[in-house]
Amino acid sequence: MEIPVYMINGFLESGKTSFIKTTLEDPEFINGDRILVIACEEGEEEYDEEKFKKKNIYTEYIEEREDYTPEKLAELNAEYHPDKVIMELNGVWNMAEILNTKMPADWMMAQLITMVDGSTFMNYVNNMRSMIMEQIKYSDTIIFNRCSSATKKNDIRRIIKPVNRKAQIIYESIDGTDMSAEEEEELPFDVNADPIVIEDDDFGLWYLDILDFPKKYNGKRICFKAMFYKDPKMSKDTFVPGRFAMQCCANDIGFIGFTSRIPSFYAAFFEEHKNRDWIYVEAKIKIEFRREYRGKGPVLYVTKLEDSVPAEEEIVYFT
């Protein structure tokens, strides 16, 4: 039987312990299961271990990074035989190393949740960007707590989505009220135009918006300037027009774009061009299932291809 493991990440005082305690008060989550909580740091808030034991919940501490080993996890598994595991991770540990640490054979990674103090997030971004991006880029869900009406959700989304476009972002107020209702920001291009014209400086904003709200682009025509990119593994009529974007910092620049299909009469144009050539694209957008999206995503059906002069700024920013 597979044992689900829930990892809760975040810096000290980000609300991890409170989140776990609230979760362990949910009868549907407990469901009579034997639960092991592994705490990798101690904050100001503590677990009531005696109260936990009455609910068949057991707590163990691994406070030193060198003690977080496959052998230690196997030892805890053998001692407690849990049905579920919750880990409160230390926010300064290297997330990639933790995820690569071998867990007991029956343990299965179910969810990685990152807790973020919404009132201090921008300070971390400005002063400890690489550390907080390390947490965010592996997360399934990111919960911003202690938010207020002054919390700039669009700015947060522009920081998160280039690093982790699949993550669900949840906003909670200081009293725990859900503030996650989607807010579409005012865009610098007209989504009702035919075609929608994406200026060079707006490529990043369009990229984020179509990922978050794909349905509103389904069936619409689009035109933009981009770099040509084709992987040898792609079919002969498929490529990705896109741009290089700064995703996290100057050392983390990656190529972004969408799967595109060309009609046969552009085959010669297609063969003549090489990666990083600048092109002008007109296409119709369809939201379809694609393996590379691991679900549905935008596919561009090209109606026009031309050579183009480069954009004045080669790197895309999400502002």
Alpha-carbon dihedral 230, 232, 234, 239, rounded to 10 degrees: 10
CB-based burial label for 104 (10 Å; 0-12, 13-18, 19+): middle
For 115, the token pair is 């807790």
SS3 annotation, 89-147: CCCCCCHHHHHHCCCCCCEEEEEEEEEEECCCHHHHHHHCHHHHHHHHCCCCEEEEEEE
CB 277 within 8 A of CB 310: no
- The whole-number pLDDT of residue 184 equals 58
Whole-angstrom CA distances from 2 to 89, 130, 195 are 21, 34, 50
Which residues partner with 1 through β-bridges? none
- The whole-number pLDDT of residue 319 equals 64
Q: Residue 191 phi/psi, 5° resolution?
A: -75, -10
Query: CB within 8 A of 140, min separation 6: which ones?
Result: 111, 112, 113, 166, 167, 168
CATH 3.40.50.2300 fits 3-173, yes or no: no
* Closest to 225 measured CA to CA, from 148, 294, 310, 140: 310
- The whole-number pLDDT of residue 262 equals 93
Integer Cα distance of 288 and 40 in angstroms = 42
Structure pTM?
0.68
- The whole-number pLDDT of residue 182 equals 57
* CA of residue 2 relative to chain centroid, distance: 25
Angle (CA) 308-314-315 rounded to 5° is 145
User: What residue segments make up the domains of the chain, in order of their start?
Assistant: 3-173, 196-316
Which residues partner with 85 through β-bridges? 5, 36
* Closest to 15 measured CA to CA, from 132, 131, 113, 138: 113
- Cα torsion 283, 300, 169, 62: sign: negative
Asked whether this chain's domains 3-173 and 196-316 adopt the same fold, the reply is no
Taking the domain 196-316, which CATH number applies? 2.40.50.140
Tens of pLDDT, residue by residue, the chain (319 residues): 899 999 999 998 899 999 999 999 999 999 999 999 999 987 778 899 999 999 999 999 999 999 999 999 999 999 999 999 999 999 999 999 999 999 999 999 999 999 999 888 888 888 888 888 888 889 999 999 999 888 888 788 878 877 887 788 899 998 878 876 655 567 889 999 999 999 998 999 899 889 888 999 999 999 999 999 998 888 888 999 999 987 655 556 889 999 999 999 888 988 899 999 999 999 999 999 887 777 788 999 999 999 999 999 888 877 6
